[in-house]
Amino acid sequence: MNLLNCHQINELLSAYLENELDPTTTLTVANHLEKCSLCERELAFLTNVSNLVRSAVEQIDKQDLSLISRASTINAYVKSQIAINPQTSPQAQTSQTPVNSYTSAETASTNNVVRLNTHQRRLAGGKKILLSLAASLAIVFLSLFAITYYSTTTGPLMSGVARNHQLCNVIELSNIGWHKGHSTENLLEVNNIKLPQLNSLGIEFYNLHPCKVYNAPFLHLMYKKGNKPVSIYYGSENTVAKLKETIPNIVPNKLYLQQESDLQIGAISTLKNNLWLIAGQLTEQEINAITSQLPMNSSSETEQSQLFH
């Protein structure tokens, strides 16, 4: 591993705070911070600056009561304009094709599974609309020949899970992680959940910590199937809202599946509006089996998760 000096580490601290470094560099920085009080102090300063900015801005937003009325005026105006002219754009007719939506594939094992495959196309501006039109026509053409077009990029929460799963495992296994020092019992108690027992599936629990995925707080339960890590995340209402950015009409107790390179990711929301996420090198059947072991609507599920409140 590369040994960096304080100056080089210093340059990375910002990205370290935002969790934006790759696992190897994160480790390098974490290792250095363990030994260097100077850099540790610098990190504390930078953290402090960020916290101050956040709390100042938060205070202003809280006190600026005009925001609510301004926003509702704008929304009312936009809705009235849409009512006058409901057409989204001249191209809307032709490009209303599968490119904008999920392509669902039949799932054999269960009838309560939705497989997500999103086509990643971010567009802005006029020229690109033509491109998008061409792209959608191409896809219509392809689908005529029954070729399924899958993109590897997917919704942000689900991709966040893949990234977090990998990163947390590197940190955890390295023995220097920022996750150390949490009492397992206490975290489960605070969140009022029972630890899902997956031993019958050959999946063993070994650790847990509070974690952030796509900027939403989760309880990260770490398991192992053989030597392969399996992650299970538990989050409260606001995490369901994050998933709604991807799936607007999310149905409770329904499993949403997504493949991210070699990782299978599953998401399932509960009747009480909490969210379970599962990630690992697993088959769809295995994810299904895990899902059946999760507390879904029993008394073991908390009324309102107190996670990080």
Options 32, 119, 165, 220; binder of another protein; rule CB under 8 A = 119
Stretch of 58-66, 195-203, 267-275, 299-307 contacting another protein, by CB under 8 A:
58-66
Neighbours of 13 (CB within 10 A): 20
66-105 residues near another protein, rule: CB under 8 A: 66-68, 70-75, 77-79, 81-82, 86, 88-89, 91-92, 95-104
Torsion of the alpha carbons at 90, 96, 101 and 107, rounded to the nearest 10: 180
Q: Single out the residue of 156, 179, 237, 308 in contact with another protein (rule: CB under 8 A).
A: 156
Other beta carbons within 10 Å of 52: 10
Task: Kindly state the smallest distance separating residue 225's Cβ from another protein, in Å.
Answer: 27
* Options 25, 31, 132, 192; binder of another protein; rule CB under 8 A: 132
- 185 near another protein (CB under 8 A): no
How many Å apart are CA 172 and CA 292, to the nearest integer? 27
Which one of another protein, Zn ion, none is in contact with 111 (Cβ closer than 5 to 8 A by kind)? another protein
Exposure of 76 by Cβ count < 10 A (0-12 exposed, 13-18 middle, 19+ buried)?
exposed
Q: Got the DSSP string for 70-120?
A: HHHHHHHHHHHHHHH-----TTHHHH-SGGGSPPP---SS-SSEEE-----
Closer CB to another protein, residue 89 or residue 261? 89
- Which two tokens mark 38? 């100077």
Site for another protein in 276-295 (CB under 8 A): none
> Is 14 a residue that touches another protein (CB under 8 A)?
yes
b (16+ CB within 10 A) / e for 20-40? ebeeebbbbbbbbbeeeeebe
Tokens for 283?
Answer: 């088959």
* Interface residue with another protein, options 27, 29, 33, 116 (CB under 8 A): 116
Q: Select the binding partner of residue 264 from Zn ion, another protein, none (C-beta < 5 to 8 A, by kind).
A: none
Q: Which does 231 bind (CB under 5 to 8 A by kind): another protein, Zn ion, none?
A: none
Q: Could you say whether residue 22 binds another protein (CB under 8 A)?
A: no
Give the residue from 247, 277, 251 showing the smallest Cα distance to 265: 277
Q: Shortest gap between Cβ of 309 and another protein (angstroms)?
A: 18
Residue from 27, 32, 33, 118 touching another protein (CB under 8 A): that is: 118
Contact between 180 and another protein (CB under 8 A)?
A: no
Residues 227-266 that bind another protein (CB under 8 A): 244-246, 248, 254
State the Cα–Cα distance between residues 17 and 4, nearest whole angstrom: 18
Q: Rounded distance, CA 297 to CA 270, Å?
A: 6
Q: How far is the CB of 78 from another protein (least distance, A)?
A: 5
Structure-token pair, residue 28: 């390098």
Residues that bind Zn ion (CB under 5 A): 6, 36, 38-39, 168, 211, 220
Amino acid code (one letter) for 274: N
CB-nearer residue toward Zn ion: 172 or 284: 172
